[in-house]
Chain A
Amino acid sequence: MMKLLKKCYLGLIMVFLYIPIVVLIIQSFNAGESRANWEGFSFRWYIELLQDERILNALYVTVSIAVIAMIVSTILGTLAAIGIHAMRKRPQAMMMTLTNLPNTMPDIVTGISLMLLVLFTKVERGYVTMLLAHITFDTPYVILSVLPKLKQMNRHTYEAALDLGATPVYALFHVIIPQCKQGIITGAMLAFTLSLDDFTISYFTTSPLVQNLSTLIYSATRTGIDPTLNALSALMFVALLVLLLIVNRRTAEDK
């Protein structure tokens, strides 16, 4: 009895979480433009999506920034984590404060402070500034996922590698990095998803001419959301779901 009640409760929470998504996906197949009336099933919005330059451009901006920011912040963050791990107590504490600072700052403050920096240096707001901002908020997350793995690692393996004649760089690639691979992958994935979903920081660091999906949707809320955006997000949702299933299958096989 209790078990059934518990399952019902979890089921209700799931319904709450998935209702808007289901609505969104259904709307993307609606033949009409209305959000409320069902006018028959069609792929109209999916076809229009392929012809909508604005949305495709925003998609390109979003994905390319997410990928580049992921790569750069993973490299920067992994190196930083290794460096911080090797530091002595005082500088290490200082670096951790610096790393935690962006997490404790509200997004809107981060966004505005970066906007001030951009305007101050008189750089034009656009693709590059948005990319730099994304790298900036991604990197601490990479560090925070790599550091715990480094702490679990046996300190002496690195020293042993040096004693046996490895150069520090060789030891880095063949001893340290393989051991914290899992943390690096987690960090990279976290960076990718955070960058993909970010709105606030992108909003302040880009110009209206270069938009990612979030800022495009934001400006669309004023004029009315286009069902093509629903179609796009339904597609992205399914794509990510498939990706997850593949990754899951892979890791299951590895075990």
Chain B
Amino acid sequence: MISNVSLPWWAWAAMGVGLVVFIAMIAMTIKRNRGMHRSLFASPYTLWMIIFTVVPVILISYYAFTDANGHFTLDNFKNFWDSHYEANKVIAAEGKRLGVDYSQYIVRGTVNWDTLVYSLWMAFQCTVICLLLGYPAALFMADRKMKLGSTLVVLFIIPMWMNFLLRTVAWMSLLEDSGLINSLLKSLGFEGVQLMYTSNTVLLGMVYNYLPFMVFPIYTVLNKMDFRLSEAAADLGCNSFQTLYKVTVPLSVPGIVSGITMVFMPSVTTFFIPRVLGGGYTMMFGDLIESKFLTEGNWNAGSALSLLMMLLILVSLSILRKVDPNGEGGGLA
């Protein structure tokens, strides 16, 4: 079992060096300022983050690049491109030993790759639907004539207090074969419909859970926007549609970018929603990582997948940052 493998000596050495550097930096700050300096207030947090964030990330990377015996290998990443990689290696070795050519039996498995593509596609659809549903909602909320803004913001937040797992399960009782919608249909004399365990059900669950994350940032930006600009556009002859897409939408880009980030990221990695609403028929990337660790116990392959996931998110974030370099979209608040 992997948990019995201990860290190589150089990892301990690196940790020791890190600790010494940390202490030395604190000592230097004290010496330079001849005593207490305010920046030292951050040192407990720094130490905490090194232990609980930096070290764990290093551990994941360590596992991703080693095999079960702790030797360096790139097999875990090859495993990503070819999910039969390990099995194929065994078959090839066996063939070599017996002197038989098994190469015709070797098939490349694409489970991991397909799962990633499927997750990205689902997350993309979810983001687009959230944007299409959420933008008008944010726009109407920010409408000064309606005077509804702050009340509606609270109404958007309240559902998020209900445990999100239970909210998702509640959809199940609406959608399942003996659920509310189907019983209603049947009592009206219609045929029942299969609503659970499809990609669309998972999509519904995702949109339901992540819609507020799209609405808030857009609303924040629209609310801060100088409304005289759109009035000016109207005075200068724009009709309301032109005002919308020439003035309001371009000005709300930071909010849109931040909303897209906040919806897309969690929806790529969710594993509870597809578990419950997809019933195991829809495997998403988060699902895959979880099952690699907890079902298969293949930590090395799981770590490699996690690392790829992180990389993917970092790349998409840096692309989004280019669109909104100052991060003006803000977050939840």
Contact = CB atoms under 8 A, between A and B. Distances in A.
B37 interface: yes
B275 interface: yes
Interface in B216-237: none
A9 B60 contact: no
Chain B contact patch, size range = 35 or more
A105 B152 contact: no
A217 interface: yes
Contact of A95 (B46, B63, B143, B266): B46
Given A27-B173, A109-B310, A112-B306, A77 B208 contact: no
A63 to B, nearest CB: 13
A199 B53 contact: no
B271 interface: yes
A221 B289 contact: no
A84 B48 CA distance: 15
Contacts of A1: none
B208 A17 contact: yes
Given A24-B166, A109-B60, A199-B164, A35 B146 contact: no
Which bucket holds chain A's interface residue count? Answer: 35 or more
Chain A contact residues: helix, strand, loop or mixed: helix
A200 interface: yes
A80 B44 contact: yes
A98 B53 contact: yes
A87 B41 CA distance: 10
A225 B314 contact: no
Contacts of B54: 98
A101 B44 CA distance: 17
Interface of A: 3, 6-7, 9-10, 13-14, 16-21, 23-24, 27, 34-37, 76-77, 79-80, 82-88, 91, 95, 98-99, 101-102, 104-110, 112-117, 119-120, 122, 132-133, 135-136, 139, 143-145, 168, 172, 186, 190, 193, 197, 199-200, 213-214, 217-218, 221, 225, 229-230, 233, 236-237, 240-241, 244
Given A117-B55, A132-B52, A17 B156 contact: yes
A35 B196 CA distance: 15
B180 interface: yes
Nearest to B168: A20
B180 A10 contact: no
A21 B48 contact: no
Nearest to B306: A109
Contacts of B272: 199-200, 218
Contact of A79 (B3, B44, B289, B333): B44
A9 B39 contact: no
A9 B46 CA distance: 47
Given A17-B156, A36-B173, A120-B59, A6 B46 contact: no
A229 B163 CA distance: 10
B164 to A, nearest CB: 6
B331 A108 contact: no
Given A116-B59, A117-B51, A136-B49, 8 more contacts: A20-B174, A35-B172, A35-B178, A76-B45, A86-B41, A104-B317, A168-B36, A197-B163
A155 B164 CA distance: 42
Interface string B266-290: 1011011001100000000010011
B242 interface: no
Contact of A36 (B38, B56, B178, B271): B178
